[in-house]
Amino acid sequence: MIKGAREIFKNDIKAIKNTPVVLIVLAAIILIPSLYALLNIQATWDPYATTSNLKVAVANGDSGCTLNGTQYNVGNMLVEELKNNDKFNWQFVDEETARNGVKNGNYYAALIIPGNFSQTVLSIDTTNPQQATIEYVVNDKINAIAPKMTNTGADTLQTKINSEIVETVDGIIFGKLSDVGELAKENKAQFLKTKSMLNELNVKLGEVDNSLNQGNSLMNTVNQIWPQFSAKLPQMQSQADTLKAKYDTLYSYIQNNPSKALSTVQDMESIDTTIITGLRYLDSLLTTLYNATGDEDLIPIINKVEDGITKANTVLNLLQEVEQDIKTSNDPSGKLSQLKSSIDEMDAAINLLANNRDNINQIVSEASSKLSMANAKWPEVKSSIQLATAKVNSIDEADLDRLIAFSDTDQSGVKSYFESPVKLEKTHYYPVDNYGSALSPFYIAISLWIGCIIAVAMISMRVKSKKEYSAETVYMGRMGLFLVLGLLQSVVVVVGALLMHVQVSSPLLFALTTIYIGLCAMGVDHHHSTQTNINSIWSLTSAFGNAGKAMAIVILVLQITATGGVFPPELLPSFFQTINPYLPLTYAVGALREVVAGVLWGNFWRCIGALAIFPAVSFVLTLIIKEKVDKRAQWTEEKLKESGLF
């Protein structure tokens, strides 16, 4: 069988050399898979980098809004922002043109900014803030992917608008906090001083209550006594006048009648003592009232009373000296002049008090009114002091320092924080440079499968020779040609992918893996002697003829979806998830992904090992059933030819 297989392979090579047309056809068979793979990789290389070609209409109907005397038009601000945005080909038109353009397919999508956009955005300044709305209109019929791209763009735009608004509002808030912090810094010492004063005052509220009660009691006493004392001021004046009259009598008695002079002096002392007692009582009363009320208007009166007391005491002292001189038979004449002067001064002081009686009445009345007002206001003042003390005590110095810290807030830093409060640090394991490189494992594996189908479809499965060969010999002999074609298809794909700069972790490993997907060991001693897809498809076609070709195409259709080359298998319907582990391209794509993005050797060898199972099983099964089904397959082919349709 081996000898016959060699003869078939040599005859195939000889036919190719002697027939240029065959060589051209085989060259086409070799190149077609690479065209499929490379063109698709190029087409999907980086589609998101060219979204600027997608036309998206923008209709700005915002009429603006006035806030605190300033005119705002957020819609215009958004338009200016979009003019600097190159993610899409923005078309700035009116609303009707935008809607009709989306319907007719002139635009992939449109953003409609309503007339009240600024008003609703700035409603944050009112008691009824409203959510601003931008209408997003898209035509899903134009293209399957474009609406998804424009949806993403719209979502990104919404996020950008929201972040700008939040950034601005929070920037204003923290600006105000900064001003408050600066104010707190300037007034910290005064605040702490006021806090200490309020606490001291709060502690003394009981003393104030007692003082006020004492003042009320004294005022009541003053109000009772002062009218009586005021009524006696004329009597006190009369007593002073009596002293003056008795002085004249005293003067004459001293010269002529010492005994009467002594009696007169003693009468004068009694009168003066009465005057002193009254003045001292009044002084004590007014002084106590002043101490209780602090009324400055009482001081002049107190001073006058005390002046009268001083002068009356001077008169009393002189009278006592004169009395002593008379008793000792000494001549008191030298002291009479001083006595007369003192009596006159005392009389003047008492007259001054009497003449200012109405003024004193008014001062006492005003003091009483002020005390009454204090009684009326004190409960409210007391409550305010207690409340203020509680409030200032709720703020300790650490709280004040934290508030002061806002004065040093970096406003640009605050705005940046609220623009992105959370920074997402992305870590990519096995990063892929572009979309085309990410899809290259899928397209390369599919292209090699397609190349195999093309090969077995165009090259005859039968060997035309005068010499007869067994079915197994034909199978083995013609496989050599398919092995060469599969090898060349793989090499062309490898060279093209590397020239396109498809990302690979190792060019050598990429080449060996791609060829391995084309060449897989058929036996223990020949690990590189047959081709995975070729062997599988050739085995199917060789065993089942045209039915085998149909089976290969069905498997291709299933593999396009079920291998997870584009979408993760977990996103696919359950049928495709079920068959995924049983398809050869699942492992072909997996192995190539390891090579493209970075090799995890456990995954790589698992894919390589699993991939070898498919051609091995196909090869063994074909050898077993080839002889049995070959005649039936030939009979089917003959009948199809006789029909003139195949």
Q: How far is CA 266 from the centre of its chain?
A: 99
pLDDT of residue 530: 33
- Here the CATH number for the domain that contains residue 252 is 1.20.120
Q: Which domain holds residue 102?
A: 54-176+410-419
What percent of the chain has pLDDT above 90?
11
- Structural contact between residues 319 and 360, judged by C-beta atoms closer than 8 angstroms: no
The model's pLDDT over 128-143, given as tens digits with 9 standing for 90+, comes to 777 888 888 888 877 6
Instruction: Tell me: pLDDT of 204 over 80.
Output: no
Considering the domain architecture, whether residues 544 and 630 belong to the same structural domain is answered as yes
H or E element that contains 89: strand 89-92
First to last CA, the chain: 31
The model's pLDDT over 581-622, given as tens digits with 9 standing for 90+, comes to 988 888 999 999 999 989 999 999 999 999 888 777 776 766
Instruction: Tell me: pLDDT of 242 over 90.
Output: no
Q: How far apart are the C-alpha atoms of 499 and 38, rounded to whole Å?
A: 10
Considering the domain architecture, whether residues 387 and 300 belong to the same structural domain is answered as yes
In a domain, 584, yes or no: yes
Considering the domain architecture, whether residues 274 and 300 belong to the same structural domain is answered as yes
- Structural contact between residues 167 and 418, judged by C-beta atoms closer than 8 angstroms: yes
Instruction: At 127, list the tokens.
Output: 């008691």
Across 241-252, average pLDDT: 78
Under the banding of pLDDT at 50, 70 and 90, the label for residue 564 is confident
Considering the domain architecture, whether residues 446 and 561 belong to the same structural domain is answered as yes
Q: Which residue has the higher pLDDT, 472 or 62?
A: 62
Considering the domain architecture, whether residues 222 and 362 belong to the same structural domain is answered as yes
Considering the domain architecture, whether residues 127 and 252 belong to the same structural domain is answered as no
- Region of poorest pLDDT, from 291-300, 401-410, 575-584: 401-410
The model's pLDDT over 491-541, given as tens digits with 9 standing for 90+, comes to 999 999 999 999 999 999 999 999 888 765 322 223 333 333 444 444 444
In a domain, 199, yes or no: no
* Dihedral pair phi/psi, residue 111, rounded to 5°: -110, 120
Instruction: Tell me: pLDDT of 312 over 80.
Output: yes
Q: How far apart are the C-alpha atoms of 638 and 646, rounded to whole Å?
A: 9
Considering the domain architecture, whether residues 120 and 227 belong to the same structural domain is answered as no
Q: How far apart are the C-alpha atoms of 367 and 377, rounded to whole Å?
A: 15
Cα dist. 156→110, 152, 161, 162, 163 in Å? 14, 6, 9, 10, 10
The model's pLDDT over 51-95, given as tens digits with 9 standing for 90+, comes to 778 888 999 999 988 876 778 788 888 888 788 878 788 899 999
Q: Specify the length of the chain in residues.
A: 646
pLDDT of residue 529: 30
Considering the domain architecture, whether residues 546 and 638 belong to the same structural domain is answered as yes
Instruction: Tell me: pLDDT of 361 over 80.
Output: no
Mean pLDDT over the full length of the chain: 74
Considering the domain architecture, whether residues 348 and 379 belong to the same structural domain is answered as yes
pLDDT of residue 71: 83
* Dihedral pair phi/psi, residue 207, rounded to 5°: -65, -40
- DSSP result, 121-134: HGGGGSSS------
H or E element that contains 59: strand 55-60
Reduced to 3 states (helix: H, G, I; strand: E, B; else coil), residue 55 is strand
What percent of the chain has pLDDT above 70?
62
User: pTM for the complete prediction?
Assistant: 0.56
- Region of poorest pLDDT, from 157-166, 492-501, 576-585: 157-166
In a domain, 482, yes or no: yes
Q: How far apart are the C-alpha atoms of 123 and 104, rounded to whole Å?
A: 36
With a CB cutoff of 8 Å and minimum separation 6, the contacts of 354 are 233, 234, 236, 237
pLDDT of residue 634: 59
Considering the domain architecture, whether residues 574 and 508 belong to the same structural domain is answered as yes
- Here the CATH number for the domain that contains residue 149 is 3.40.1710.10
Instruction: At 514, list the tokens.
Output: 């791609």
Considering the domain architecture, whether residues 260 and 373 belong to the same structural domain is answered as yes
Highest mean pLDDT: which range of 187-191, 368-372, 635-639: 368-372
Q: Which residues pair with 136 in a beta bridge?
A: 111
Instruction: Tell me: pLDDT of 411 over 60.
Output: no
The tally of domains found in the chain comes to 3
Under the banding of pLDDT at 50, 70 and 90, the label for residue 565 is confident
- The last residue of one of the domains, among 399, 419, 439, is 419
Reduced to 3 states (helix: H, G, I; strand: E, B; else coil), residue 523 is strand
Q: Which residue has the higher pLDDT, 625 or 608?
A: 608
pLDDT of residue 60: 92
In a domain, 605, yes or no: yes
Instruction: At 241, list the tokens.
Output: 């006048």
Query: Residue with structure tokens 């623009």?
Result: 419
Considering the domain architecture, whether residues 40 and 61 belong to the same structural domain is answered as no
> Radius of gyration (Cα) for the chain, nearest Å?
59
In a domain, 292, yes or no: yes
In a domain, 397, yes or no: no
In a domain, 153, yes or no: yes
In a domain, 609, yes or no: yes
